[in-house]
Amino acid sequence: MTNSIACVDKAQGFLVIGSNTTENHPIIGDRVKRAVTQRGAKLVVIDPRRIELAEYANVFLQVKPGHNIPVILGMMHVILKEGLHAPDYIAERCEGFEEFAASLDAYSPERVQEITGVDADLIRKAARVYAGAKPASILYAMGVTQHTQGTDAVKCLANLAMLTGNVGVEGGGVNPLRGQNNVQGACDMGGLPNVVTGYQKVGDDEAMAKFDEAWGRKVPREPGLTLTEMGQAALEGKIRALYVMGENPMITDPDLHHIEKALDNLDFLVVQDIFLTETAAKADVVLPACSFAEKDGTFTNTERKVQRVRAALAPRGESKPDWQIVQELSTKMGYPMSYAHPREIFDEIASLTPSYAGIDYDRIEREGIPWPCPDKDHPGTPVLHVEKFARGKGLFHVVEYKGSAEEADDEYPLVLTTGREHPHYHSGSMTRRCGRINDCFPEGFLEMHPADAERLGLRTGDPVRVTSRRGEITTKVKVVDRPAPGTVFLSFHYSESPVNVLTNPATCPVAKIPEYKVTAVRVEKA
Protein backbone atom coordinates (compact mmCIF):
# COMPACT_ATOMS: atom_id res chain seq x y z
CA MET A 1 0.00 0.00 0.00
CA THR A 2 1.21 3.50 -0.67
CA ASN A 3 -0.71 4.50 2.46
CA SER A 4 -1.33 3.05 5.88
CA ILE A 5 -4.37 1.16 7.08
CA ALA A 6 -5.05 4.01 9.52
CA CYS A 7 -5.36 6.28 6.46
CA VAL A 8 -8.69 4.63 5.72
CA ASP A 9 -10.06 6.71 8.57
CA LYS A 10 -8.97 9.89 6.82
CA ALA A 11 -10.36 9.16 3.37
CA GLN A 12 -13.44 11.05 2.25
CA GLY A 13 -14.02 8.61 -0.56
CA PHE A 14 -13.05 5.14 -1.74
CA LEU A 15 -12.78 3.25 -4.93
CA VAL A 16 -12.83 -0.43 -4.07
CA ILE A 17 -12.04 -2.51 -7.10
CA GLY A 18 -11.38 -6.23 -7.46
CA SER A 19 -11.34 -6.65 -3.70
CA ASN A 20 -13.99 -8.42 -1.68
CA THR A 21 -12.64 -6.49 1.27
CA THR A 22 -15.08 -7.51 3.98
CA GLU A 23 -14.37 -11.21 3.41
CA ASN A 24 -10.68 -11.16 2.56
CA HIS A 25 -9.37 -8.24 4.57
CA PRO A 26 -12.14 -7.98 7.13
CA ILE A 27 -10.39 -5.50 9.38
CA ILE A 28 -9.94 -3.06 6.50
CA GLY A 29 -13.45 -3.83 5.26
CA ASP A 30 -14.83 -2.90 8.68
CA ARG A 31 -13.08 0.43 8.51
CA VAL A 32 -14.47 1.20 5.09
CA LYS A 33 -17.97 0.38 6.30
CA ARG A 34 -17.48 2.60 9.33
CA ALA A 35 -16.19 5.43 7.16
CA VAL A 36 -19.29 5.22 5.00
CA THR A 37 -21.90 4.75 7.72
CA GLN A 38 -20.39 6.86 10.48
CA ARG A 39 -18.63 9.63 8.54
CA GLY A 40 -20.56 9.72 5.31
CA ALA A 41 -17.52 8.91 3.17
CA LYS A 42 -18.33 8.15 -0.46
CA LEU A 43 -17.84 4.70 -1.94
CA VAL A 44 -17.54 3.40 -5.48
CA VAL A 45 -17.35 -0.38 -5.86
CA ILE A 46 -16.30 -2.14 -9.05
CA ASP A 47 -16.58 -5.90 -8.97
CA PRO A 48 -18.06 -8.78 -10.95
CA ARG A 49 -20.07 -9.79 -7.90
CA ARG A 50 -22.51 -7.92 -5.71
CA ILE A 51 -20.16 -8.17 -2.73
CA GLU A 52 -21.09 -6.92 0.71
CA LEU A 53 -19.47 -3.51 0.16
CA ALA A 54 -21.69 -3.02 -2.88
CA GLU A 55 -24.57 -2.63 -0.44
CA TYR A 56 -22.78 0.36 1.09
CA ALA A 57 -21.75 1.93 -2.20
CA ASN A 58 -22.95 5.19 -3.70
CA VAL A 59 -22.19 3.64 -7.07
CA PHE A 60 -21.73 -0.02 -7.81
CA LEU A 61 -20.44 -1.06 -11.22
CA GLN A 62 -20.95 -4.75 -11.76
CA VAL A 63 -18.38 -5.45 -14.45
CA LYS A 64 -17.72 -8.67 -16.27
CA PRO A 65 -14.43 -10.27 -15.18
CA GLY A 66 -11.69 -8.65 -17.23
CA HIS A 67 -13.42 -5.30 -17.76
CA ASN A 68 -11.69 -3.22 -15.10
CA ILE A 69 -9.48 -1.37 -17.54
CA PRO A 70 -12.10 0.04 -19.93
CA VAL A 71 -14.25 1.11 -17.00
CA ILE A 72 -11.38 2.99 -15.35
CA LEU A 73 -10.41 4.52 -18.67
CA GLY A 74 -14.02 5.65 -19.05
CA MET A 75 -14.00 7.18 -15.57
CA MET A 76 -10.79 9.07 -16.33
CA HIS A 77 -12.27 10.26 -19.62
CA VAL A 78 -15.18 11.77 -17.69
CA ILE A 79 -12.97 13.29 -15.01
CA LEU A 80 -10.90 15.03 -17.64
CA LYS A 81 -13.85 16.14 -19.79
CA GLU A 82 -15.67 17.56 -16.80
CA GLY A 83 -12.59 19.22 -15.37
CA LEU A 84 -12.65 17.18 -12.17
CA HIS A 85 -8.94 16.49 -12.30
CA ALA A 86 -6.20 18.21 -10.29
CA PRO A 87 -4.29 20.36 -12.82
CA ASP A 88 -1.93 21.98 -10.30
CA TYR A 89 -0.91 18.68 -8.78
CA ILE A 90 -0.39 17.21 -12.24
CA ALA A 91 1.66 20.16 -13.44
CA GLU A 92 3.82 20.20 -10.35
CA ARG A 93 4.33 16.53 -9.64
CA CYS A 94 3.66 14.44 -12.73
CA GLU A 95 4.84 13.93 -16.28
CA GLY A 96 3.58 12.30 -19.45
CA PHE A 97 0.20 13.91 -18.99
CA GLU A 98 -0.47 15.20 -22.54
CA GLU A 99 0.01 11.91 -24.25
CA PHE A 100 -1.98 10.16 -21.56
CA ALA A 101 -4.82 12.67 -21.77
CA ALA A 102 -5.00 12.23 -25.52
CA SER A 103 -5.19 8.47 -25.12
CA LEU A 104 -8.39 8.82 -23.12
CA ASP A 105 -10.25 10.36 -26.06
CA ALA A 106 -11.13 6.92 -27.33
CA TYR A 107 -12.83 5.87 -24.09
CA SER A 108 -16.01 7.89 -23.81
CA PRO A 109 -18.53 6.35 -21.43
CA GLU A 110 -20.64 5.39 -24.44
CA ARG A 111 -17.77 3.54 -26.04
CA VAL A 112 -17.01 1.84 -22.72
CA GLN A 113 -20.63 0.84 -22.45
CA GLU A 114 -20.30 -0.80 -25.87
CA ILE A 115 -17.26 -2.76 -24.72
CA THR A 116 -18.41 -3.71 -21.25
CA GLY A 117 -22.17 -3.37 -21.10
CA VAL A 118 -21.82 -1.08 -18.08
CA ASP A 119 -24.24 1.83 -18.28
CA ALA A 120 -22.52 5.03 -19.45
CA ASP A 121 -24.31 7.14 -16.88
CA LEU A 122 -23.15 4.91 -14.07
CA ILE A 123 -19.58 5.36 -15.26
CA ARG A 124 -20.10 9.12 -15.19
CA LYS A 125 -21.54 8.91 -11.73
CA ALA A 126 -18.67 6.77 -10.48
CA ALA A 127 -16.19 9.25 -11.89
CA ARG A 128 -17.90 12.18 -10.20
CA VAL A 129 -18.18 10.44 -6.87
CA TYR A 130 -14.54 9.36 -6.79
CA ALA A 131 -13.16 12.65 -8.11
CA GLY A 132 -15.46 14.68 -5.87
CA ALA A 133 -14.11 13.17 -2.66
CA LYS A 134 -10.85 14.61 -1.37
CA PRO A 135 -8.83 12.72 -0.37
CA ALA A 136 -9.94 9.47 -1.95
CA SER A 137 -8.32 6.12 -1.51
CA ILE A 138 -8.16 3.29 -4.03
CA LEU A 139 -8.25 -0.16 -2.48
CA TYR A 140 -7.65 -3.11 -4.77
CA ALA A 141 -6.68 -6.74 -4.64
CA MET A 142 -6.29 -9.76 -6.85
CA GLY A 143 -9.42 -8.93 -8.82
CA VAL A 144 -7.25 -6.27 -10.45
CA THR A 145 -3.93 -8.07 -10.77
CA GLN A 146 -4.83 -11.65 -11.65
CA HIS A 147 -5.40 -10.84 -15.31
CA THR A 148 -3.26 -10.94 -18.42
CA GLN A 149 -3.52 -7.15 -18.33
CA GLY A 150 -3.05 -6.99 -14.55
CA THR A 151 -0.06 -4.65 -14.61
CA ASP A 152 -1.87 -2.35 -17.02
CA ALA A 153 -4.83 -2.26 -14.68
CA VAL A 154 -2.57 -1.26 -11.79
CA LYS A 155 -1.06 1.49 -13.96
CA CYS A 156 -4.58 2.63 -14.77
CA LEU A 157 -5.36 2.95 -11.08
CA ALA A 158 -2.15 4.87 -10.49
CA ASN A 159 -3.13 7.19 -13.35
CA LEU A 160 -6.54 7.71 -11.81
CA ALA A 161 -5.08 8.56 -8.43
CA MET A 162 -2.53 10.97 -9.92
CA LEU A 163 -5.14 12.55 -12.16
CA THR A 164 -7.12 13.49 -9.06
CA GLY A 165 -4.10 14.42 -6.94
CA ASN A 166 -4.52 11.52 -4.58
CA VAL A 167 -1.02 10.05 -4.42
CA GLY A 168 1.21 11.09 -1.57
CA VAL A 169 -1.60 12.46 0.55
CA GLU A 170 -2.99 11.11 3.78
CA GLY A 171 -6.24 9.33 3.22
CA GLY A 172 -5.49 8.81 -0.47
CA GLY A 173 -3.24 6.48 -2.32
CA VAL A 174 -3.25 3.39 -4.46
CA ASN A 175 -3.50 0.56 -2.04
CA PRO A 176 -3.09 -3.09 -2.95
CA LEU A 177 -4.41 -5.33 -0.20
CA ARG A 178 -2.07 -8.25 0.15
CA GLY A 179 -3.70 -11.61 0.38
CA GLN A 180 -1.17 -13.52 2.41
CA ASN A 181 0.37 -12.71 5.74
CA ASN A 182 3.85 -12.11 4.39
CA VAL A 183 3.52 -11.67 0.66
CA GLN A 184 4.83 -8.15 1.14
CA GLY A 185 7.79 -9.35 3.17
CA ALA A 186 8.57 -12.22 0.80
CA CYS A 187 8.79 -9.70 -2.05
CA ASP A 188 10.78 -7.26 0.11
CA MET A 189 13.25 -10.06 0.82
CA GLY A 190 13.91 -10.57 -2.87
CA GLY A 191 11.34 -13.26 -3.55
CA LEU A 192 11.04 -11.91 -7.08
CA PRO A 193 13.38 -13.05 -9.82
CA ASN A 194 14.88 -9.67 -10.71
CA VAL A 195 15.62 -8.17 -7.31
CA VAL A 196 17.31 -8.87 -4.01
CA THR A 197 16.21 -7.42 -0.68
CA GLY A 198 14.45 -4.06 -0.67
CA TYR A 199 13.98 -4.19 -4.46
CA GLN A 200 17.66 -3.64 -5.19
CA LYS A 201 18.03 -4.67 -8.81
CA VAL A 202 19.92 -7.82 -9.72
CA GLY A 203 21.55 -5.77 -12.49
CA ASP A 204 22.71 -2.99 -10.15
CA ASP A 205 26.46 -3.60 -9.86
CA GLU A 206 27.02 -1.52 -6.79
CA ALA A 207 24.26 -3.22 -4.84
CA MET A 208 25.36 -6.64 -6.02
CA ALA A 209 28.95 -5.97 -5.02
CA LYS A 210 27.67 -5.32 -1.52
CA PHE A 211 25.97 -8.70 -1.51
CA ASP A 212 29.02 -10.43 -3.01
CA GLU A 213 30.99 -9.16 -0.09
CA ALA A 214 28.46 -9.82 2.64
CA TRP A 215 27.63 -13.27 1.40
CA GLY A 216 31.18 -14.15 0.46
CA ARG A 217 30.04 -15.49 -2.89
CA LYS A 218 29.51 -14.04 -6.31
CA VAL A 219 25.79 -13.35 -6.55
CA PRO A 220 24.17 -14.08 -9.95
CA ARG A 221 23.77 -10.98 -12.13
CA GLU A 222 21.04 -12.46 -14.32
CA PRO A 223 17.42 -12.40 -13.19
CA GLY A 224 15.93 -15.75 -12.27
CA LEU A 225 12.61 -17.23 -13.25
CA THR A 226 9.16 -16.44 -11.98
CA LEU A 227 6.94 -19.07 -10.46
CA THR A 228 5.02 -19.65 -13.65
CA GLU A 229 8.17 -19.68 -15.78
CA MET A 230 9.69 -22.26 -13.48
CA GLY A 231 6.85 -24.66 -14.29
CA GLN A 232 7.63 -24.31 -17.98
CA ALA A 233 11.35 -24.68 -17.40
CA ALA A 234 10.72 -27.87 -15.45
CA LEU A 235 8.67 -29.27 -18.32
CA GLU A 236 11.47 -28.45 -20.71
CA GLY A 237 14.01 -30.10 -18.46
CA LYS A 238 15.90 -26.88 -17.80
CA ILE A 239 15.06 -27.06 -14.14
CA ARG A 240 15.91 -30.44 -12.65
CA ALA A 241 15.47 -29.88 -8.95
CA LEU A 242 13.04 -27.75 -7.04
CA TYR A 243 13.14 -26.70 -3.41
CA VAL A 244 9.70 -25.51 -2.28
CA MET A 245 9.41 -23.78 1.07
CA GLY A 246 5.87 -23.39 2.40
CA GLU A 247 3.96 -23.21 -0.86
CA ASN A 248 1.39 -25.54 -2.33
CA PRO A 249 1.42 -24.96 -6.09
CA MET A 250 -0.56 -28.17 -6.62
CA ILE A 251 -3.62 -26.28 -5.42
CA THR A 252 -2.84 -22.64 -5.94
CA ASP A 253 -1.32 -22.59 -9.41
CA PRO A 254 -3.37 -22.30 -12.57
CA ASP A 255 -3.89 -25.32 -14.78
CA LEU A 256 -3.02 -27.94 -12.19
CA HIS A 257 -2.64 -30.72 -14.72
CA HIS A 258 0.18 -28.76 -16.27
CA ILE A 259 1.86 -28.17 -12.91
CA GLU A 260 1.55 -31.81 -12.02
CA LYS A 261 3.36 -32.74 -15.22
CA ALA A 262 6.04 -30.18 -14.48
CA LEU A 263 6.63 -31.55 -10.99
CA ASP A 264 6.63 -35.12 -12.28
CA ASN A 265 9.28 -34.13 -14.76
CA LEU A 266 11.75 -33.05 -12.08
CA ASP A 267 14.67 -35.21 -11.05
CA PHE A 268 14.33 -34.09 -7.47
CA LEU A 269 11.68 -32.29 -5.45
CA VAL A 270 12.12 -31.12 -1.85
CA VAL A 271 9.15 -29.68 -0.03
CA GLN A 272 9.31 -28.01 3.34
CA ASP A 273 5.94 -27.55 5.01
CA ILE A 274 3.90 -28.09 8.13
CA PHE A 275 1.54 -30.60 6.46
CA LEU A 276 1.83 -33.22 3.80
CA THR A 277 0.22 -30.92 1.24
CA GLU A 278 -0.76 -32.02 -2.24
CA THR A 279 2.63 -30.75 -3.39
CA ALA A 280 4.57 -32.38 -0.55
CA ALA A 281 2.95 -35.71 -1.41
CA LYS A 282 4.84 -35.62 -4.70
CA ALA A 283 8.21 -34.82 -3.15
CA ASP A 284 11.31 -36.96 -2.87
CA VAL A 285 12.10 -35.45 0.48
CA VAL A 286 9.70 -33.69 2.84
CA LEU A 287 11.14 -31.51 5.59
CA PRO A 288 8.84 -30.81 8.56
CA ALA A 289 8.66 -27.10 9.37
CA CYS A 290 7.26 -25.06 12.23
CA SER A 291 4.06 -23.08 12.04
CA PHE A 292 3.88 -19.36 12.80
CA ALA A 293 3.08 -20.22 16.42
CA GLU A 294 6.39 -21.98 16.91
CA LYS A 295 8.90 -19.51 15.60
CA ASP A 296 10.34 -16.08 16.09
CA GLY A 297 10.68 -13.64 13.25
CA THR A 298 8.92 -10.85 11.43
CA PHE A 299 6.14 -10.49 8.88
CA THR A 300 5.64 -7.33 6.83
CA ASN A 301 2.00 -6.51 6.41
CA THR A 302 0.15 -4.95 3.53
CA GLU A 303 0.94 -1.42 4.75
CA ARG A 304 4.69 -2.29 4.74
CA LYS A 305 4.81 -2.49 8.51
CA VAL A 306 7.40 -4.90 9.87
CA GLN A 307 5.83 -6.69 12.83
CA ARG A 308 7.04 -9.36 15.23
CA VAL A 309 6.05 -13.00 15.14
CA ARG A 310 6.77 -14.81 18.38
CA ALA A 311 7.21 -18.45 19.29
CA ALA A 312 4.43 -19.47 21.66
CA LEU A 313 5.00 -23.20 21.42
CA ALA A 314 7.93 -25.56 21.19
CA PRO A 315 8.44 -27.11 17.75
CA ARG A 316 6.10 -29.98 17.11
CA GLY A 317 7.85 -33.37 17.15
CA GLU A 318 11.18 -33.06 15.38
CA SER A 319 10.02 -30.20 13.17
CA LYS A 320 12.21 -27.11 12.90
CA PRO A 321 11.69 -23.48 11.96
CA ASP A 322 12.29 -22.93 8.26
CA TRP A 323 15.29 -20.68 8.86
CA GLN A 324 16.99 -23.42 10.81
CA ILE A 325 16.38 -26.02 8.13
CA VAL A 326 17.77 -23.75 5.42
CA GLN A 327 20.77 -23.00 7.61
CA GLU A 328 21.52 -26.67 8.23
CA LEU A 329 21.12 -27.59 4.60
CA SER A 330 23.32 -24.73 3.50
CA THR A 331 25.98 -25.75 5.98
CA LYS A 332 25.82 -29.32 4.73
CA MET A 333 26.33 -28.10 1.20
CA GLY A 334 29.50 -26.28 2.06
CA TYR A 335 28.10 -22.80 2.61
CA PRO A 336 28.03 -22.57 6.40
CA MET A 337 25.49 -20.48 8.27
CA SER A 338 25.35 -20.22 12.03
CA TYR A 339 22.69 -17.82 13.17
CA ALA A 340 21.63 -18.39 16.76
CA HIS A 341 18.33 -16.55 16.45
CA PRO A 342 16.23 -14.87 13.73
CA ARG A 343 17.19 -11.54 15.31
CA GLU A 344 20.69 -11.99 13.92
CA ILE A 345 19.31 -12.68 10.48
CA PHE A 346 17.15 -9.59 10.71
CA ASP A 347 20.14 -7.43 11.60
CA GLU A 348 21.93 -8.76 8.53
CA ILE A 349 18.89 -7.93 6.38
CA ALA A 350 18.84 -4.41 7.81
CA SER A 351 22.54 -3.97 7.11
CA LEU A 352 22.04 -4.87 3.43
CA THR A 353 18.69 -3.24 2.79
CA PRO A 354 18.37 0.56 2.90
CA SER A 355 14.60 0.52 3.40
CA TYR A 356 14.92 -1.78 6.43
CA ALA A 357 18.14 -0.23 7.76
CA GLY A 358 16.62 1.53 10.76
CA ILE A 359 14.49 -1.36 11.97
CA ASP A 360 15.49 -3.81 14.69
CA TYR A 361 13.67 -6.15 17.08
CA ASP A 362 13.89 -3.74 19.99
CA ARG A 363 12.22 -0.97 18.05
CA ILE A 364 9.31 -3.15 16.97
CA GLU A 365 8.82 -4.87 20.30
CA ARG A 366 5.44 -3.27 20.86
CA GLU A 367 4.46 -1.91 17.49
CA GLY A 368 5.74 -2.45 13.98
CA ILE A 369 7.44 0.14 11.77
CA PRO A 370 6.52 0.73 8.12
CA TRP A 371 9.46 0.86 5.70
CA PRO A 372 11.20 2.82 4.28
CA CYS A 373 13.00 3.37 7.56
CA PRO A 374 16.53 4.37 6.59
CA ASP A 375 18.04 4.90 10.05
CA LYS A 376 17.51 4.22 13.74
CA ASP A 377 15.96 7.63 14.40
CA HIS A 378 13.55 7.43 11.49
CA PRO A 379 9.93 6.79 12.53
CA GLY A 380 9.07 4.82 9.40
CA THR A 381 6.95 5.91 6.45
CA PRO A 382 3.19 5.39 6.66
CA VAL A 383 2.54 7.32 3.45
CA LEU A 384 4.74 6.98 0.37
CA HIS A 385 5.50 9.65 -2.26
CA VAL A 386 4.57 12.51 0.08
CA GLU A 387 6.45 15.44 -1.35
CA LYS A 388 7.61 13.83 -4.51
CA PHE A 389 7.35 10.45 -6.11
CA ALA A 390 10.01 7.87 -5.39
CA ARG A 391 11.12 8.19 -9.03
CA GLY A 392 10.90 12.00 -8.99
CA LYS A 393 7.86 12.76 -11.14
CA GLY A 394 4.79 10.61 -11.22
CA LEU A 395 4.60 9.13 -14.68
CA PHE A 396 1.30 8.76 -16.48
CA HIS A 397 1.21 5.55 -18.50
CA VAL A 398 -0.83 5.21 -21.62
CA VAL A 399 -2.90 2.07 -21.29
CA GLU A 400 -4.99 0.49 -24.03
CA TYR A 401 -7.56 -2.17 -23.32
CA LYS A 402 -6.72 -5.50 -24.96
CA GLY A 403 -9.16 -8.00 -23.49
CA SER A 404 -8.66 -11.22 -21.58
CA ALA A 405 -6.91 -14.29 -22.92
CA GLU A 406 -10.12 -16.25 -22.89
CA GLU A 407 -13.67 -15.20 -23.57
CA ALA A 408 -16.98 -16.98 -23.30
CA ASP A 409 -18.08 -18.71 -26.50
CA ASP A 410 -20.66 -21.27 -27.57
CA GLU A 411 -18.78 -24.19 -26.14
CA TYR A 412 -17.82 -22.48 -22.87
CA PRO A 413 -20.58 -19.94 -22.41
CA LEU A 414 -19.93 -18.79 -18.84
CA VAL A 415 -17.06 -16.84 -17.35
CA LEU A 416 -15.68 -18.29 -14.14
CA THR A 417 -13.95 -16.04 -11.66
CA THR A 418 -12.25 -17.25 -8.48
CA GLY A 419 -11.52 -15.98 -5.01
CA ARG A 420 -11.83 -16.71 -1.34
CA GLU A 421 -14.61 -17.07 1.20
CA HIS A 422 -14.25 -15.41 4.56
CA PRO A 423 -13.93 -18.45 6.85
CA HIS A 424 -11.29 -20.16 4.74
CA TYR A 425 -7.84 -19.28 3.64
CA HIS A 426 -5.95 -19.93 0.45
CA SER A 427 -5.29 -23.60 -0.39
CA GLY A 428 -7.22 -24.58 2.73
CA SER A 429 -4.29 -26.47 4.24
CA MET A 430 -4.75 -24.51 7.48
CA THR A 431 -8.43 -23.60 7.83
CA ARG A 432 -9.64 -26.92 6.49
CA ARG A 433 -7.76 -28.44 9.41
CA CYS A 434 -9.43 -26.23 11.96
CA GLY A 435 -12.11 -28.56 13.26
CA ARG A 436 -14.68 -25.98 14.18
CA ILE A 437 -14.26 -23.84 11.08
CA ASN A 438 -14.41 -26.80 8.79
CA ASP A 439 -17.47 -28.22 10.55
CA CYS A 440 -19.23 -24.93 10.04
CA PHE A 441 -18.05 -24.35 6.49
CA PRO A 442 -17.38 -27.82 5.08
CA GLU A 443 -17.90 -27.30 1.37
CA GLY A 444 -17.60 -24.83 -1.42
CA PHE A 445 -20.24 -23.85 -3.91
CA LEU A 446 -20.35 -22.55 -7.44
CA GLU A 447 -22.18 -19.24 -7.21
CA MET A 448 -24.55 -18.78 -10.12
CA HIS A 449 -27.15 -16.16 -11.01
CA PRO A 450 -30.78 -17.34 -10.92
CA ALA A 451 -31.22 -16.58 -14.63
CA ASP A 452 -28.38 -18.92 -15.61
CA ALA A 453 -29.54 -21.52 -13.10
CA GLU A 454 -33.01 -21.53 -14.53
CA ARG A 455 -31.75 -21.92 -18.06
CA LEU A 456 -29.62 -24.88 -16.94
CA GLY A 457 -32.35 -26.31 -14.75
CA LEU A 458 -30.24 -26.06 -11.59
CA ARG A 459 -31.19 -25.49 -8.00
CA THR A 460 -29.07 -24.73 -4.96
CA GLY A 461 -27.35 -27.89 -3.79
CA ASP A 462 -27.40 -29.64 -7.16
CA PRO A 463 -24.12 -31.31 -8.05
CA VAL A 464 -22.56 -29.83 -11.16
CA ARG A 465 -19.67 -30.49 -13.45
CA VAL A 466 -17.65 -27.44 -14.41
CA THR A 467 -15.52 -27.83 -17.52
CA SER A 468 -12.94 -25.51 -19.04
CA ARG A 469 -10.50 -25.98 -21.90
CA ARG A 470 -8.08 -27.53 -19.41
CA GLY A 471 -10.07 -29.83 -17.22
CA GLU A 472 -13.19 -30.45 -15.21
CA ILE A 473 -14.23 -30.60 -11.58
CA THR A 474 -17.42 -31.32 -9.74
CA THR A 475 -18.97 -29.22 -7.01
CA LYS A 476 -22.40 -28.03 -5.91
CA VAL A 477 -24.22 -25.02 -7.16
CA LYS A 478 -25.56 -22.16 -5.06
CA VAL A 479 -28.10 -19.98 -6.79
CA VAL A 480 -27.60 -16.36 -5.70
CA ASP A 481 -27.69 -13.02 -7.40
CA ARG A 482 -24.18 -12.13 -6.31
CA PRO A 483 -22.64 -12.76 -9.74
CA ALA A 484 -24.25 -11.20 -12.79
CA PRO A 485 -25.83 -13.47 -15.38
CA GLY A 486 -23.06 -15.06 -17.41
CA THR A 487 -20.54 -14.98 -14.56
CA VAL A 488 -19.98 -17.79 -12.06
CA PHE A 489 -17.73 -17.85 -9.01
CA LEU A 490 -15.77 -20.55 -7.18
CA SER A 491 -13.34 -20.35 -4.28
CA PHE A 492 -10.08 -22.27 -4.34
CA HIS A 493 -10.01 -23.62 -0.78
CA TYR A 494 -11.33 -27.08 -1.48
CA SER A 495 -8.94 -29.71 -2.73
CA GLU A 496 -11.88 -32.00 -3.49
CA SER A 497 -12.98 -29.50 -6.15
CA PRO A 498 -9.68 -27.93 -7.12
CA VAL A 499 -10.75 -24.97 -9.16
CA ASN A 500 -7.27 -24.45 -10.52
CA VAL A 501 -7.69 -27.52 -12.67
CA LEU A 502 -9.81 -25.16 -14.73
CA THR A 503 -7.96 -21.85 -14.64
CA ASN A 504 -5.90 -20.42 -17.41
CA PRO A 505 -2.11 -20.26 -17.04
CA ALA A 506 -1.96 -17.31 -19.45
CA THR A 507 -0.04 -14.65 -17.54
CA CYS A 508 0.41 -10.94 -17.42
CA PRO A 509 3.59 -10.38 -19.45
CA VAL A 510 5.06 -8.03 -16.85
CA ALA A 511 4.09 -9.38 -13.43
CA LYS A 512 3.72 -12.98 -14.69
CA ILE A 513 0.60 -13.35 -12.59
CA PRO A 514 -1.81 -15.87 -14.09
CA GLU A 515 -5.28 -14.93 -15.21
CA TYR A 516 -7.12 -16.68 -12.38
CA LYS A 517 -10.03 -14.32 -12.69
CA VAL A 518 -11.23 -15.13 -16.21
CA THR A 519 -11.88 -18.68 -17.36
CA ALA A 520 -14.46 -19.67 -19.93
CA VAL A 521 -16.41 -22.65 -18.63
CA ARG A 522 -19.39 -24.86 -19.24
CA VAL A 523 -21.59 -26.00 -16.37
CA GLU A 524 -23.74 -29.12 -16.44
CA LYS A 525 -25.68 -31.12 -13.94
CA ALA A 526 -23.42 -33.90 -12.68
Partner 1 sequence: MINVTIDGVRVEVPKGATILEAAQEAGIRIPTLCYLKKLSPIGSCRMCVVEVEGCTKPVTACDTPAGDGMVVTTDSEELREMRRDVLRLLLVRHPLDCPVCDKGGECDLQDLVYEFGVTAESYRTERFERDVPRYVSPFIRQWPDRCVLCGRCVRACKEVKGVGCIQIVDNGFYSYIGPVPGVECISCGECLSVCPVGALTDSVHPTKARIWQADRVPTTCGYCGVGCQLELNVLNGEIIRVTTTDFDKAPNFGSLCVKGRFGWEFVNHPDRLEKPLVRKDGELKEATWDEALGLVAQRLQQIKDEHGADAIGGFTSARCTNEENYLFQKFICAR
CB atoms within 10 A of CB 217: 10
CB contact at 8 A, 323 and 290: no
Q: Which is nearer to partner 1, 329 or 526 (CB)?
A: 329
Residue partners of 310: CB distance under 8 A and separation at least 6: 296
Among 2, 68, 145, 319, binds partner 1 (CB under 8 A): 319
Pairing assessment for the beta strands 514-515 and 504-507 based on DSSP bridges: antiparallel
Residue span 164-193 as binding mask against partner 1, x where in contact by CB under 8 A, dash where not:
-------------xxxxxxxxxx-xxxx--
Q: By CB under 8 A, tell whether 354 contacts partner 1.
A: no
| Size of site (CB under 8 A) for partner 1 | 131
Q: Which is nearer to partner 1, 25 or 517 (CB)?
A: 25
Q: How far is the CB of 9 from partner 1 (least distance, A)?
A: 11
Among 244, 458, 464, 523, binds partner 1 (CB under 8 A): 244
Q: By CB under 8 A, tell whether 16 contacts partner 1.
A: no
Among 239, 466, 484, 520, binds partner 1 (CB under 8 A): 239
* Stretch (H or E) spanning 227: helix 227-235
User: For residue 135, is the peptide bond before it cis, meaning its omega torsion is within 30 degrees of 0?
Assistant: yes
CB contact at 8 A, 159 and 397: yes
d(CA 187, CA 176): 14
Among 145, 146, 175, 301, binds partner 1 (CB under 8 A): 301
Which residue type does 509 have?
A: P
Query: Which has the closest alpha carbon to 299: 346, 347, 262?
Result: 346
Q: By CB under 8 A, tell whether 289 contacts partner 1.
A: yes
Q: By CB under 8 A, tell whether 368 contacts partner 1.
A: yes
- Angle between helix 68-81 and 109-116 (nearest 10): 170
Q: Which is nearer to partner 1, 154 or 523 (CB)?
A: 154
Residues 36-55 that bind partner 1 (CB under 8 A): 37-38
Residues 434-453 that bind partner 1 (CB under 8 A): 434-437, 439-440
Task: Estimate to the nearest angstrom the gap between the alpha carbon of 495 and the chain centroid.
Answer: 21
Q: By CB under 8 A, tell whether 217 contacts partner 1.
A: yes
Residue span 115-154 as binding mask against partner 1, x where in contact by CB under 8 A, dash where not:
----------------------------------------
Which residue type does 286 have?
A: V
Among 84, 345, 395, 526, binds partner 1 (CB under 8 A): 345
Torsion of CA 351, 354, 358, 362, to 10 degrees: -50
Q: By CB under 8 A, tell whether 57 contacts partner 1.
A: no
Q: How far is the CB of 440 from partner 1 (least distance, A)?
A: 6
Residue partners of 191: CB distance under 8 A and separation at least 6: none
Q: How far is the CB of 98 from partner 1 (least distance, A)?
A: 37
For residue 445, what are the β-bridge partners?
Answer: 476
